[in-house]
Amino acid sequence: MDDVTTDEFLAGVIEGFYGPPWSESERHEVLDWMRQWGLNTYFYGPKDDLHHRIFWRTPYSDADAAVIGGLIHECQQQGVRFVYALGPGLDVRYNDAADREALRLRFTQLRELGCQDFCLLFDDIPDRMHPGEIERWGSLASAQCALTNEMSAWLRARQPRSRFLFCPTPYCGRMEAAGLGGEGYLETVGRELSQDVDVFWTGPEIISSEITVGHIDGLAAKLRRKPVIWDNLHANDYDGRRFYCGPYSGRSAELKGRVKGILTNPNTEMPLDFMALRTLAAFVHAPGPWDARAAYLAALKEWLPEFETVHRPMVFADLVLLADCYYLPHEEGPEARQLFHDIAELLARDPADWGAEAALVRAQVVRLREICARMAELKCRPLFHALSRRVWDLREEMDLLDRYIGFALDSENRGRTFHSDFHLTQTYRGGLVRRLQDLLVQATDGSIRPGPSAANRGGPARA
C-alpha cells in the first residue's frame, strides 16, 4: 500500500458543492480541523463562485483576489496543499486561442497569489461540441485532453513541482455506462491525457454507497493510472432538507492503495461537516481494517462539546440518536432504523392491540422530539443555524406521531378521525414541490410510477 501519510497522497476536503461558498471564518475552521487531523489538501472549486464556471474568462477583482490569496496563504501556513479548480466546460471553445489565453491569464492571477496546483473540471456540462471542433478533435475526450495537456505543460514549465488534476465529463460508472461523453471516452483519456495529470472519479454513482477495490482496478486499467476519489458520500447540495453526519464508510482499507488520493465534497453547511472530515481523516490514517461505526462513535464524542446548550450539556446517547437520523444518503444509523421499525410496526396494527408497547414507542418519539427542540438552545449558534430547518422537520413529524399515538390510545376515540390543530392542511407538508412529489412515486427498486395523488388530483387550486 502507498504511504498515505505523504504529501503525494491527496487527503482532504473539496469545497466543490452547489450553493453558497463557505465564508472566510468557515474556511479557517476547516483548516484548523485539517491541521489537527492530518489532512493535507484543500481543493477550491465551489460551483457557485461565479468566476469558477460562469465568468471563468473574467479575472477576479482585487477584493475577491485578496480573499482567495488569504486562503492560499493560510493553507501554506498550515502545511496544506491548495488546489485551485476552474470549470470552463459550459461554453469553452476548444479551438479558440482566446479561450486558451483566458485560461492562462486566470492561472497566472492565481500563481501570483501563491497557488501552485490546479485543476480543470469538465463535470456537469453538455457532452457536445461545435461542428468545427468535432472535425478538429474527433471526440470530446480528445479535445478536453488536448486542452488539459496544454495547460498542464504551460504550468509546469513555470512551476515544475506543480500538480495538475482533471475531472472527466463522465465521472462515475453510471455516466460511463450511459455513454456520456461519447463512446470510449475513458479509454481515450487513458491514451491521450498526460500521465502526470491526475483524474477524478466518484465511484459507481455520483453519490456512491460503496466503492470497491474491483471497481477502482477496472477504472485504473482504462485510465492507465490510479484515480483520485472525489467522494460525494456526505454531499447534500441535491437535497436541502437533509444533511449527513455518518461515518466515512462503504470503502475498505485496501482502497487506499489503489488510488492517489481521497477528497470529500461534504455538506454545503460547514458546521455540519465535523463528522465527514473527522472520520475521513481517521480512515486515511487507520493502520488496519476499517471499523466505520467505531470511528463514528469516537468522532461523535469529540463533537459532543459543540452541542452544549444554555441550560445543560447534551447527553451522548441523545446525540447518537439524533445523528443516526442524519446518517448517510443511503441509510439511517442503527438507532434511527430501529425507531422507524418500531413506529411502523405499531402503526400497522389495530390500536386496540397495541398494549404496553405503544407507551414504549411513544416515549422514544417524545424523546427525539425533545432532542430536536433543544437544538434551539445550542450555545454554538452557527451549528444551530445549520441544523434548524432540517431538525425542525424531524421535530414536527415526532410531534404529529406523539399526538396520533396519544389519540389512538384513548379508547373513547375508537372509530373517530384524528386531526391535529398544529399540523394544518397546506401549511404542514405543504407547497408545490410536495404536491409534485406525490404525483410520481418511486419504489425501492428505483422504478417510478404515478401515485394515488395523480388519480385524485381534483380541480385547480383556488386562491
* Model pLDDT for residues 77-104, shown as the tens digit of each residue: 999 999 999 999 999 999 999 999 999 9
Looking at the whole model, is its pTM more than 0.85? yes
Q: 191 and 218 share a domain? A: yes
Number of structural domains in the chain: 3
Residue 197, domain CATH: 3.20.20.80
Q: 101 and 217 share a domain? A: yes
Domain that holds residue 451: 432-463
Q: Is 124 among the residues known to form the active site? A: yes
Q: How confident is the model at residue 2 (pLDDT cuts 50, 70, 90)?
A: very low
Q: 340 and 268 share a domain? A: no
Q: What's the pLDDT at 434?
A: 86
* Model pLDDT for residues 390-399, shown as the tens digit of each residue: 999 999 999 9
* Model pLDDT for residues 401-428, shown as the tens digit of each residue: 999 999 999 999 988 999 998 888 888 8
Mean pLDDT computed over 138-166: 97
Residue 337, domain CATH: 1.20.58.240
Q: 359 and 281 share a domain? A: no
The 3-class SS string of the chain reads CCCCCCCCCEEEEEECCCCCCCCHHHHHHHHHHHHHHCCCEEEECCCCCCCCCCCCCCCCCHHHHHHHHHHHHHHHHHCCEEEEEECCCCCCCCCCHHHHHHHHHHHHHHHHCCCCEEEEECCCCCCCCCHHHHHHHCCHHHHHHHHHHHHHHHHHHHCCCCCEEEECCCCCHHHHHCCCCCCCHHHHHHHHCCCCEEEEECCCCCCCCCCCHHHHHHHHHHHCCCCEEEECCCCCCCCCCCCCCCCCCCCCHHHHHHCCEEEECCCCCHHHCHHHHHHHHHHHHCCCCCCHHHHHHHHHHHHHHHHCECCCCCCHHHHHHHHHCCCECCECCHHHHHHHHHHHHHHCCCHHHCCCHHHHHHHHHHHHHHHHHHHHHECCHHHHHHHHHHHHHHHHHHHHHHHHHHHHHCHHHCCCCCCCCCCCECCECCCHHHHHHHHEEECCCCCEEECHHHHCCCCCCCC
Q: What's the pLDDT at 455?
A: 67
Q: What's the pLDDT at 424?
A: 86
* Model pLDDT for residues 224-273, shown as the tens digit of each residue: 999 999 999 999 999 989 999 999 999 999 999 999 999 999 999 999 99
Q: How confident is the model at residue 6 (pLDDT cuts 50, 70, 90)?
A: low
Choosing from 2, 48, 99, 124, the catalytic residue is: 124
> Is pLDDT at 462 greater than 50 in this prediction?
no
Q: What's the pLDDT at 3?
A: 57
In a domain, 100, yes or no: yes
